[in-house]
Amino acid sequence: MTDADDRRVRKAIQGVQFPADKETLVAYAEAREAEPRTLRALRALPNRDYGSGDEVADAVPQRPEHTRGG
């Protein structure tokens, strides 16, 4: 994930109530009309609960645009 991707993910989930699971994060970003690339990154997250935006950013795969599904 690039620095720009990191900023986009953080912006898309800004204001979300933590802890939050992957489904909550994706739904929140969708409601905020996040960019498709950002949504792909969030959909590529492992299924688990996240305690902060830092945890989310750290968990996003380095190349989420190359993942399949979601």
- What local confidence, expressed as pLDDT, does residue 64 receive? 47
Buried b (16+ CB within 10 A) or exposed e, 25-44: bbebbeeeebeeebbbbbbb
The structure's pTM equals: 0.83
Tokens 């489904």 belong to 23
pLDDT of 26-59, one tens digit each?
A: 999 999 999 999 999 999 999 999 999 999 999 9
- What local confidence, expressed as pLDDT, does residue 53 receive? 95
If 0-12 CB within 10 Å is exposed, 13-18 middle and 19+ buried, where does residue 18 land?
middle
Tell me which of 53 and 65 has the higher pLDDT. 53
Sorted by where each begins, the domain ranges of the chain are: 3-63
- What local confidence, expressed as pLDDT, does residue 70 receive? 45
